[in-house]
Chain A
Amino acid sequence: MWQPPRKSLPVPKLNEVCRYIRSKNAGPFWVTVDLFFDSGESYAKYHDDPAISAAAIADIYGVDAALVKRFPVPSLNMVKISYPRATPQGGVHERDMHSGQQFVPLLQLQLMSRS
């Protein structure tokens, strides 16, 4: 019997499966990003997505992947990702003293995991 080709559901962007994404300085030399998923289901499905791997994050922020720290926190359905600043907080070329806007490039991040 003929069947139509199966349509795969579109894979969401990060801000479509998170209720809140934020970034903040963690001391003068580190930035920490918190990804709060919108449900236990989203967390289970996407917390290990290759688009938010240490290597992918290192790529986005131009830092050494070996220094990127990643902590899944299942009790809060969130993933914390920390990476070293390219230059210490507050130098000549500072644009974001508290790293509070550094989460923005992640909002439209295309996830890769399919159900």
Chain B
Amino acid sequence: MTVEEEQCVRVLVPAGVLGWGVSADELEAGLALKPHAIAIDAGSTDSGPAYLATGRTKYGRQSIKRDLSLLMDIRRRAGVPLLIGSCGTSGCDMAVDQTLETTIEVAREHGEALRIAVIYSEQGKEDLKVRSAGGMVTPLAPAGPLSDASLEACNHIVALLGPEPYMAAVAAGADIVLGGRTTDTAVLAAIPLMRGAHVAAAWHAAKIAECGGLCSVNPTGPGVMMSIDRDGFTIEPLSPQNRCTPETVSAHMLYENSDPFRLVEPGGVLDVTEAQYRALDDRRVRVTGSRWETKPYTMKLEGAGGGPFQTIMLIGIEDPAVLEDVDGFVERMARGLRERVNRTLGAEAGSIDISLRPYGWNAVSGRPAGGNAAPPREIGLMFIATAPTQAMATEAARVCNPFFFHFPVREGTEIPSYAFPFSPAEIERGQVFEFHLNHVVHTASPFELARTRWIDVAAAPEKSASA
């Protein structure tokens, strides 16, 4: 091994998210490159508020278990730590515990002895109220100051961890670290930072690698290797057939980022304005010139809770008489349904919202389709009743059902019937969930909002002898 290689910290990033489907071939290729750690993100708010509000995971248990099993096998053979951030999509305590349970199950199946550190980051409302009253919680644009009502509206609140609790857990001997909600970058940057790599390069590499192969020419190859040294970093796809180019790597700074140059992290800001991206060969890219500005430590909050309930219905319409004036038809129907709900449901009607979304016309934007738009060949008209309870939403849908199904094209004409695909026609969609927090907590230490728990899994006796 050359001196240059020894000074380099390599992190195998097997995919953009746990449960996506890591590649066994790629992991073997990654193992041959002698990584110092395997790290992967397992969560995001990307798919909306339901996951944090309910603690439910986006990927199924079987998908997560399959990835975990392959990663734990590679980890054991590499003899390096495995770090998983934002476990169970939202990273709230119950989601982390689900991942822990699956990890223990895999360890038992493998007959493997393991030291697992679990870092929780779910926060209590009362504690946050006290911090907020003390001026330690500040809003991010476009939010206003934190109100107790916003905290109360949340089912779960998490603080985004930085890398420090991961570094401490690995230093204390963890084989596997399962983290609560963590910034996507922190979990990947932890080991390079711990081993003294260039700070800005560690964060920048982590930002580039956070979605796995998305920074490569062929994003269906899920894994990448990030190698950080004292001056910069190199990124390469795990698959020998895949390639990273300066364009694919630098363009990844644009993805899902509101600012392509500056990324706020716990304890500082990564600034890549002056970064240089250079091809080392046809599949590896070298990056230098990123900067890190140390700032007072802040941890971002995420919180989500449940709102009203929805029941939906869908009809297909091919009748040209309707399609020649979709706007007029939908407007008349909306008025007709509203009147029927008011008439039938009395006092309750005021709390019920009825929305019609003509797919194939302007359901996505909600904007007028424009006078010169040609009639579509068909539309799917979605009906959404939103009410304080599921029962009320369904009651409203059933009240509207015959009108929705038979609404005449013109008053006084024969009654048409549109195309319902289902029986019963109404579908109870469940609760609407909402994000409530867009704030940061100012902390004196990176550990202030983190709680670490240790779990030792003993080796299965009958398998340990042959291991």
Contacts and interface: CB of A to CB of B under 8 A. Distances in A.
B419 interface: no
B365 A104 contact: yes
Interface SS majority for chain B: loop
B363 interface: yes
Interface string B21-58: 00000000000000000000000011111100000000
Contacts of B310: 92
Contact of B50 (A67, A76, A80, A90): A90
A88 B435 contact: yes
Interface in A72-96: 73, 75-76, 78, 80, 82, 84, 88-93, 95-96
B432 interface: yes
Interface residues of B, number: 40
A71 B257 CA distance: 11
Interface string A9-28: 00000000000000011111
Given A67-B142, A76-B250, A32 B256 contact: yes
B433 A26 contact: no
Contacts of B48: 28, 89-90, 97
B365 A28 contact: no
Contact of B46 (A25, A76, A84): A25
A101 B365 contact: yes
Contacts of B434: 88, 90-91
Contact of A29 (B142, B250, B433): B142
A27 B353 contact: no
B143 interface: yes
A101 B366 CA distance: 12
Interface string B250-293: 11001111111100000000000000000000000000000000
A80 B254 contact: yes
Contact of B435 (A28, A76, A95): A28
B45 A82 contact: no
Nearest to B437: A28
Given A80-B254, A90-B50, A92-B353, A28 B438 contact: yes
Contacts of A38: none
Nearest to B275: A75
Interface string A21-46: 00011111110101000000000000
Contacts of A90: 48-50, 432-435
A105 interface: yes
A83 B260 CA distance: 14
B308 interface: yes
B77 interface: no
A64 B355 CA distance: 26
A67 to B, nearest CB: 6
B65 interface: no
A24 B256 contact: yes
B247 interface: yes
Nearest to B277: A75
A69 interface: yes
A92 B254 contact: no
B149 interface: no
Contacts of A89: 45, 48-49, 435
Contacts of A88: 49, 434-436, 438
Contacts of A26: 256-258
B49 A28 contact: yes
A27 B50 contact: no
A38 to B, nearest CB: 14
B432 A91 contact: yes
25 contacts: A24-B256, A26-B257, A27-B256, A28-B48, A28-B49, A28-B435, A29-B142, A30-B258, A32-B258, A34-B254, A64-B142, A67-B141, A69-B259, A71-B259, A76-B247, A76-B251, A80-B260, A84-B141, A88-B49, A88-B438, A89-B45, A91-B432, A92-B310, A95-B365, A98-B47
Given A90-B433, A97-B47, 8 more contacts: A27-B258, A32-B256, A80-B259, A89-B48, A90-B48, A96-B364, A104-B364, A105-B365
